[in-house]
Amino acid sequence: MCGRYSLTPAPGILEDRFDATFAAQLTGPAYNAAPSQQLPVILNTDPGKIQLLQWGLIPGWVKELQKAPKPINARAETLTEKPSFRQLLQRRRAIIPADGFYEWQATTNGKIPHRILRRDEEVFAFAGLWDEWLDRTTGEVLPTFTIITTEPNDLMAPIHNRMPVILKDRNAELAWLDDTVPLAAHQELLRPLPTELMRAYTVSKLVNSPAHNSPDVLAPAA
């Protein structure tokens, strides 16, 4: 599972990193990005823009918004088995910029939060899916996204039994966004990032609440 992550670089750094420009203004760094928030996403239909989408997928076919599930994650192994995800895998893929994510390890002393990032501490991108939901009453269009998860690598396995798909490099990011790439090749990208490229450390329980959105959330636990 991936239920929290961070994205702290300035907009200009993100624009250079992803060769795209922001379509909307950021309110500030996301030290503790959480579901239901508006977060930066790059869509396959417009890879030159960084747009703000709500985290928690609302498929376009949903009729009653309040009763609809809003999955924040989608399992890589079963994407083609579920009609709604299969169609999005074919036509609505996204990358989600991040510089770390959080996971909680279950222990006899309770759940211990960890921050996981690339060993080089560079910005990376999750693989995701997106869709648009139309409010037929107001005409408002609500774009949303979900992050794809996969089996854990050796670093993540002691912490949690799932991890988000982190695309390995820029070529993988571009391939994931490319509509001319075959479905099978897209699926091949949905692998755990190699263990040697990652590191993890424990953080304080400040991260437990999305109300805490400050650099303190990133600090190693005392």
- Catalytic positions, written as ranges: 2, 103
Tokens 């995800």 appear where?
85
Tokens 């500030």 appear where?
28
Pick from 96, 21, 23: nearest CA to 57: 96
| Integer Cα distance of 38 and 143 in angstroms | 10
Residue 220's contacts (CB-CB under 8 Å, 6 or more residues apart) are: 201, 202, 203
Residue 182's contacts (CB-CB under 8 Å, 6 or more residues apart) are: none
